Structure 1
Amino acid sequence: MPVQFGIVVTAVVTEEILWRGYPIERLTELTGSVWVGAGVSGVVFLAVHFPAWGIVGAVPQAVFTLVLVGVYVWSRNVVACMISHGVINVLMILVLPRVI
């Protein structure tokens, strides 16, 4: 359980900085459009994760990505994304396997 918790925390912090906070802001700066920044960031995130998740995981991963990109675009706050991501990951990784 401590290792799983460490993985969740590490993924939450690094993914939100590397896939939402930094790229959306920089691409928005370069293009003048937050939607371009959000779209490019989301598509690249999904493309990088596709080999690990495959087609079966692509749909839930796409929904998850849309939610997190939406939270960032709405709030422009990477900590809000980290909290959202953390709640989702805790449910998926730590809670659901024990319930199902």
Structure 2
Amino acid sequence: MERKMKFSHPGKILKMEIIDGRGLSISKASELLGITRASLSNIVNSKSSITPNMALRIETVFGGTADFWVRLQASYDLESAKQDFYKNPPKIRYFEYS
């Protein structure tokens, strides 16, 4: 079955659900997370990934689980890689048993 829904970068979800959902500014959220405003801005604008360290920060500050954010990022990364892979497939062939 083909997926019809477009994957969203986890940073967009972080912004919508956590930052905007709690009425925070990027500056205030970055202060709470102990990171620079630029670092958080890059994440919410889909320019940087949510690393395991960032996932732990989100878990500690806002609740939820770091595992959720890491899995969300991994799913997004895999879907992006699949799209690139199938648009420009590498010159590989299947292994054949003899």
Tell me if both proteins adopt one fold, taking TM over 0.5 as the criterion: no
Q: Give me the TM-score of the superposition, normalised by structure 1.
A: 0.30
Q: Give me the TM-score of the superposition, normalised by structure 2.
A: 0.30
In terms of fraction of residues, the more helix-rich structure is 1
Higher Rg of the two aligned structures: 2
Q: Comparing both chains, which one has the higher relative contact order based on Cα–Cα distances under 8 Å and sequence gaps of 6 or more?
A: 1
